[in-house]
Amino acid sequence: MTPALALRGVEVRLSGRVVLAGVDLALAPGELLLLAGRNGAGKTTLLRTAAGLLAPVRGTVELAGRPLASLGRREVARQVACVAQETALPFPFTAGQLVLLGRTPHLGLLAFESRADVAVAERALERLGLAALADRSVLELSGGERQLVHLARGLAQEAPVLLLDEPTAHLDLAHRALVLGCLRDLAAEGRALLVVSHDLFAAGFANRVALLAEGRILAAGAPLDVIRPDHLRAAFGVETEVIATPAGPVVLPQPRR
């Protein structure tokens, strides 16, 4: 099967510094891949490169077997939805208006959203329990609620590849479970999801986990094969105990002696 997204030998430099070095990572349709690593490991850079926002100095990024660099921005936006951790809000949109912006890549020049586009946006809001907030200004919402609205905008884009940067940050336990369950359902429906997160609770919802350390993939595979004390020591520099449960690995940091 052709990967929905593939990074092949990708090297990225920022201000002359190597941030990603020879990264090979493939994401299949119907797969949720969790990417974890310590601060500064290169996770957000990898996500931005996968979205076409940064160009590698070596290697290639492919979408469904086609070089991303050969595609126009509108085509990329139809294929890849990227939800950043922090997004500026230059206008006081309502939650419904902001989610409807996810339909922009599918509109013709100077075209307005159709009833079908509005229905897609409404379904995205409902999926994340936000229907009651549709007419509220996003500036009146809490940080967690705004984060859910941005995620709903990404869902409304209906791209086959979804890239998410820390989607559960600032969320309470109930909303973390809601979001991760929604992402798992999207993968089951055939979308390919690459989720960057420090939240190893998310490993229980993932098909695969990849650990990034110093710009390189340290380990990748099934959650219980990757979330191990030796791998976490190498990736994060901490001692841990890992308990295997039916819901996925549970990580217990050990106190320093």
**Mean pLDDT value of segment 171-196:** 95
For the domain bounded by 5-87+162-253, which CATH number is listed?
A: 3.40.50.300
In tens, the pLDDT along 185-196 reads 999 999 999 999
**Mean pLDDT value of segment 172-178:** 93
**Mean pLDDT value of segment 197-210:** 92
**Mean pLDDT value of segment 137-144:** 91
pLDDT at 186: 97
In tens, the pLDDT along 46-97 reads 999 999 999 999 999 999 999 999 999 999 999 999 998 866 666 789 999 9
**Mean pLDDT value of segment 131-150:** 93
Query: Which residue from 189, 152, 154, 179 is spatially nearest to 81, judged by alpha carbons?
Result: 154
> Is the per-residue pLDDT at 184 higher than 90?
yes
pLDDT at 199: 86
Q: Exposed/middle/buried for 78, CB within 10 Å: 0-12, 13-18, 19+?
A: middle
Query: Which residue from 44, 48, 47, 41 is spatially nearest to 21, judged by alpha carbons?
Result: 41
pLDDT at 110: 65
pLDDT at 101: 93
**Residue 166 zone, left/alpha/beta (φ > 0; ψ -120 to 50; rest):** left
Q: What proportion of the chain, given as a percentage, has pLDDT over 90?
A: 83
Q: Please give the structure tokens belonging to residue 132.
A: 């009651």
Distance CA 158, CA 105 (A): 10
pLDDT at 102: 94
In tens, the pLDDT along 108-132 reads 766 788 999 999 999 999 999 999 9
* Alpha-carbon distance values, 19 to 37, 212, 218 (Å): 13, 11, 14
Distance CA 185, CA 46 (A): 24
DSSP for 153-204, written as a single string: HHHHT--SEEEEESTTTT--HHHHHHHHHHHHHHHHTT-EEEEE-S-GGGGG
pLDDT at 134: 96
Cβ-Cβ contacts under 8 Å for 241 (sequence gap 6 or more): 229, 251, 252, 254
Lowest mean pLDDT segment, chosen from 78-82, 85-89, 175-179, 250-254:
85-89
Mean pLDDT, the chain, integer? 93
pLDDT at 255: 76
> Is the per-residue pLDDT at 248 higher than 70?
yes
pLDDT at 201: 87
- Decide if 113 contacts 107 (C-beta within 8 A): yes
> Is the per-residue pLDDT at 236 higher than 90?
yes
